[in-house]
Structure 1
Amino acid sequence: MILALILLIVGGTVAGSMLYGRRKQKRAQNMEEWALGGRKLGTLVFWFLNAGEIYTTFAVLGISGFAWAYGAPAYLAFCSVSLSAAIGYWLTPLIHAYGRRHRLVTQADFFAHRYNSRWLGVCIAAAGLIALVVYVQIQVTALTLVVRLAAPGVGQGAAALVAVALMLMFVFLAGLRSAAFAAGVKDILMLVVVIALAWTVAGVVGETSVLGLFRTVGDRFPEAVRFPGLKPELGLDVTWLVTSALNVALGTYVFPHMFQLCYSADSGDTIRRNAVFQPIYSLSYFFIILLGFAALLAGTQAPGSDPNALLLAFVGERYPAWMLGVLAGTASLLALVPGSVLLLTCGAIFGRNIVRPLMPSIADRTELLASRLAMVVFAAIALYLTLGASGSLVEIGLSAYAAIGMLAPGVYCAFLMRRVSAAAVLAGLVTGYAVMWVPALSNLASDWFPHWEAGLVALLANAGVTVGLSLAVPRKALSLQPA
């Protein structure tokens, strides 16, 4: 039954998205049509596609498992979503307008054009690809869990390979419009499943109401409902919450795939409407965290102590098999759709910002082919990272936000300052990565800023160097080779 429901949900959604994509557009013959949907996505389609890239398995499987394993630190989800929408209301229409005016396709196009430096675009493309592959890893990890649930005899490696193959198959057959349709189905299913589970979960664990469930968790596990949570030795206190929420909010719309989504909208008004109503989705996190606390109260143990599998294990123990099948099918879409868009973005960046600068006379069709073939390589890298990973989806997600946060100063300064140069942006980028990844500097940063999210410390160092160098040295003296 579980396997049949997974196949029905995933197969039906993929088939519907293919029909929708073929009806709305001819087969993509160029990068703009394939990667941006022809820049014609309206309010409803853009809403679902944008939400589809924010509310992934990170939100459902990741946050519920994080609440079960760590407790109150899972409240991070509430803060980061609302802050991201507030920043997005200002930032995303600017990105859209600049991209439409100059016919940009990728984030690296933006950096190369705004700072008049082809080689900065190449560097930004490489940095963006690193963060995107880590984010693809999240989706592959979650889809691997579902594959193993549907076929218990399949090993970890084989299940991860199947997950990657499914993503590649979807993204090769689809474009951005097809992904938008699948994202709409996925979001509706996610809300229905989460609300249905939350509506019944109190009775399932022997409580009379949701408030009673929270009260019992507070009585039996008082550490779970207050900071620093169930594992105080990790330092996940209020300082960590505030700095992590800021880091996620500053980085959400700096991801390369979010740039491309901004380019794909038909107008700035479409993007503003999306930012106004996007925080409504944050209400779903209340129910997701509730499910994690219910599993804690019920004594559910995650298979292999993997918090990512906690929700699937809890529903499997306490609910009928058909409910587990619906949840697993929905989780498949939560991983498949965002993962496919992420791989699409990786391919677009590689073809347009790595291959084209090396081969300026390349034809559009050849560039598109190179982009599609590159997706296979990036999917293989994500597969390798998945097989070697052991952290929760939230921990992997925060590492991706830390990596992409290094691009934030260059994005914000592009709209706030006129004197910022390509060399200053590149110097800030190198500084930020050094603070994050050079042990001596990262240890020094953690000593100076205890319990801060490491990514935010690196971002501030990056911003300080970028802004300081731009103000201290004339722009002409800092210019790199022009585009």
Structure 2
Amino acid sequence: MILALTLAVVFATMAGAILSARRQAKARTLTEWAVGGRKFGVLIFWFLNAGEIYTTFAVLGISGFAWAHGAPAYLALTSVSLSAALGYWLMPLIWNAGRRYGLVTQADFFAAHYQATWLGVVVGLAGIAALIVYVQIQIVALSLIVRMTLGTDVSITMAAIIAAVVMLSFVYFAGLRSAAFAAGVKDVLMVVIVITLCATVASKVGATSMLDVYALAQDSFPGIGRLPGLQPEAGLSTVWLMTSALNVALGNWILPHLFQLCFSAGSEATIRRNAIWQPLYSLSYFFILLLGFAALLAGTQPAGGDTNAVLLQFVADRYPAWAVGIFAGTACLLALVPGSVLLLTAGSIFSRNVLLPLRPGLSDRATLLASRLSMIAFATVAVWLTLGGSKSLVEIGLSAYAAIGMLAPGVYFAFIWKRAHAIGVFAGLVAGYLALLLPAAQALWGALLPGWEPGLIAMAINAAVAAAVSIAWPRPAARAVAPA
């Protein structure tokens, strides 16, 4: 029954998504495929954008993080609200630049604004690398669900391959429009399921109400509700929470798929309405944290102590098979929808900003084909990363935000500082990545700034070097995209 219901939820959504996209318009060009023809209204844009709140990172990752650490999982509440506040200002600027100059990808923006095709190539490659790490999150989660439904006889390798194949087939034919339809379905389903689980969870762990679950957790595990949480040795202090939340907020709209998503909106009002209401949507994390604490009270022990599988194991242990099947199917959509958008964005960047500068004579059809074929390669790399790592979804997510945060100074300078130029931005990128990735630098930050999110430190160094070089280096004369 579990397998049948899981497949029913997934395949019904996939069929509806593809049919919906085909009825509206067949993706014949890269622009139509990658940004939906720049026509998305409030509802579709809401589900694609605010729907980022309901991903495997959010539901499986944060609940598992709450189970393992307690209060540090409050990072989800703070970072989403900060991101929405910043997005209210930044997203319309990105949208205006995209509409005015026909931009499709984030790398397009860098190449056009800084009048440097080579910088677009560099940014494109950096963006693809960060996106592959983010795809890894979805494949990790989806492979867990595959093994739960098909059985542990399915190897981890085979489960990851199945996850990647399903994800590729989901987005391959219809592009962003298929993901938009599926995002609405999975959001509605997950809201209903999470509320239903929370309404019944108290009886599963011996509590009298949802609030009593929090009280029992505090009594049973003193310190769970305050920082540094259940594992003080992990260093998840107040400083860590503040710097990590700020790093996520500054880097959120710099993620290439969200940056590109801004181009798909039909109007500036659509974007601003989304930013106004998104913080309220993030209050649903209250329920996700609740489920993590309930799993801890229930004594849930996922195989191998895998924090990513905590919620799946808790539901499988405490709920009937039909509920497990529906939850597993919806959890599949949590991975498929964002994973598909991530792969689509990576493919768009590769064909348009890496391949096209080398082969400027490519037709739209050839460019679209190159985008689709490159997604297979990126999914393969994500599978390889999945098989070689064992981090929690939250840790992988923070790594992705740290990597993509290196592009943030170039974006913000484009809108607030006329003097910034391509050489300065590139120098900042080099300095930032060295500060983030060199073991000696990591040891230095740990000694000088204990508890700080390394990505935020590297972003600050990046911005400082970019500013210094832009001041010292002669400024180019013109701009293709005028700063706001």
Common fold: TM-score over 0.5: yes
Give the corresponding residue for 1:90.
89
One-letter amino acid matched to 1:50 = N
- Contact 2:428/2:465 (<8 A) preserved: yes
Q: C-alpha displacement at 1:160, in angstroms? A: 0.6
- Contact 2:171/2:178 (<8 A) preserved: no
Q: C-alpha displacement at 1:298, in angstroms? A: 1.0
Q: What is the SS of the residue equivalent to 2:300? A: coil
Give the corresponding residue for 1:145.
144
- 1:128-207 mapped onto 2 (5 Å cutoff): 128-152=127-151, 153-207=153-207
Give the corresponding residue for 1:100.
99
Give the corresponding residue for 1:452.
452
- Contact 1:236/1:451 (<8 A) preserved: yes
1:300 correspondence with 2:300: yes
Q: C-alpha displacement at 1:52, in angstroms? A: 2.8
1:440 correspondence with 2:444: no
- The worse-fitting range, judged by mean Cα deviation, of 112-121 and 211-220 is 211-220
- 1:387-466 mapped onto 2 (5 Å cutoff): 387-466=387-466
Q: C-alpha displacement at 1:173, in angstroms? A: 2.1
Cα deviation digits, residues 225-277 of structure 1 (max 9, x gap)? 11111111111010000000000001110011111110000011100000001
CA–CA distance in structure 2, aligned partners of residues 473 and 307 of structure 1: 49
1:63 correspondence with 2:62: yes
CA–CA distance in structure 1, aligned partners of residues 264 and 385 of structure 2: 30
CA–CA distance in structure 2, aligned partners of residues 172 and 7 of structure 1: 19
One-letter amino acid matched to 1:471 = I
Q: What is the SS of the residue equivalent to 2:103? A: coil
Q: What is the SS of the residue equivalent to 2:224? A: helix
Q: C-alpha displacement at 1:414, in angstroms? A: 0.4
CA–CA distance in structure 2, aligned partners of residues 94 and 331 of structure 1: 34
- Contact 1:52/1:337 (<8 A) preserved: no
- Contact 2:61/2:393 (<8 A) preserved: yes
Q: C-alpha displacement at 1:327, in angstroms? A: 1.0
Q: C-alpha displacement at 1:471, in angstroms? A: 2.5
CA–CA distance in structure 1, aligned partners of residues 211 and 377 of structure 2: 48
Q: What CA RMSD, in Å, does the superposition of the two structures yield over aligned residues? A: 1.3
Cα deviation digits, residues 169-212 of structure 1 (max 9, x gap)? 11112211111000000000111111111111111111101221
TM-score after normalising by structure 1: 0.97
One-letter amino acid matched to 1:263 = F
CA–CA distance in structure 2, aligned partners of residues 477 and 428 of structure 1: 21
CA–CA distance in structure 1, aligned partners of residues 24 and 283 of structure 2: 32
- Contact 1:423/1:478 (<8 A) preserved: no
Cα deviation digits, residues 312-366 of structure 1 (max 9, x gap)? 1001111111111111111000000110111001110000001000011111111
Cα deviation digits, residues 104-134 of structure 1 (max 9, x gap)? 0000000000000000000000000010000
Give the corresponding residue for 2:124.
125
CA–CA distance in structure 2, aligned partners of residues 394 and 311 of structure 1: 14
Q: 1:245 to 1:181 in 2, by over 3 A?
A: same
Q: What is the SS of the residue equivalent to 1:223? A: coil
CA–CA distance in structure 1, aligned partners of residues 188 and 150 of structure 2: 26
- Contact 2:40/2:265 (<8 A) preserved: yes
Cα deviation digits, residues 66-100 of structure 1 (max 9, x gap)? 00011110000000000000000000000000011
- The worse-fitting range, judged by mean Cα deviation, of 195-204 and 241-250 is 195-204
CA–CA distance in structure 2, aligned partners of residues 366 and 317 of structure 1: 50
Give the corresponding residue for 2:108.
109
Give the corresponding residue for 2:267.
267
CA–CA distance in structure 2, aligned partners of residues 355 and 361 of structure 1: 10
CA–CA distance in structure 2, aligned partners of residues 317 and 36 of structure 1: 41
Gaps spanning 5+ residues in structure 1: where? none
- Contact 2:142/2:163 (<8 A) preserved: yes
Q: C-alpha displacement at 1:478, in angstroms? A: 13
CA–CA distance in structure 2, aligned partners of residues 83 and 365 of structure 1: 40
- Contact 1:419/1:470 (<8 A) preserved: yes
- Contact 1:140/1:160 (<8 A) preserved: yes
Gaps spanning 5+ residues in structure 2: where? 480-484
TM-score after normalising by structure 2: 0.97
Give the corresponding residue for 2:341.
341
Give the corresponding residue for 1:368.
368
CA–CA distance in structure 1, aligned partners of residues 18 and 168 of structure 2: 14
CA–CA distance in structure 2, aligned partners of residues 96 and 126 of structure 1: 22
Give the corresponding residue for 1:239.
239
1:313 correspondence with 2:313: yes
- Contact 1:99/1:110 (<8 A) preserved: yes
- Contact 1:78/1:285 (<8 A) preserved: yes
Q: C-alpha displacement at 1:477, in angstroms? A: 10
Q: What is the SS of the residue equivalent to 1:265? A: coil
One-letter amino acid matched to 1:158 = M
- 1:343-358 mapped onto 2 (5 Å cutoff): 343-358=343-358
CA–CA distance in structure 2, aligned partners of residues 280 and 173 of structure 1: 34
One-letter amino acid matched to 1:87 = L
Cα deviation digits, residues 34-56 of structure 1 (max 9, x gap)? 11111000000000011233421
Identity of aligned residues (%): 63
CA–CA distance in structure 1, aligned partners of residues 295 and 45 of structure 2: 34
- Contact 1:421/1:478 (<8 A) preserved: no
Q: What is the SS of the residue equivalent to 1:340? A: helix
CA–CA distance in structure 2, aligned partners of residues 180 and 211 of structure 1: 35
CA–CA distance in structure 2, aligned partners of residues 211 and 340 of structure 1: 36
CA–CA distance in structure 2, aligned partners of residues 477 and 179 of structure 1: 41
Give the corresponding residue for 1:75.
74
Give the corresponding residue for 1:377.
377
CA–CA distance in structure 1, aligned partners of residues 309 and 63 of structure 2: 10
One-letter amino acid matched to 2:239 = T
One-letter amino acid matched to 1:384 = W
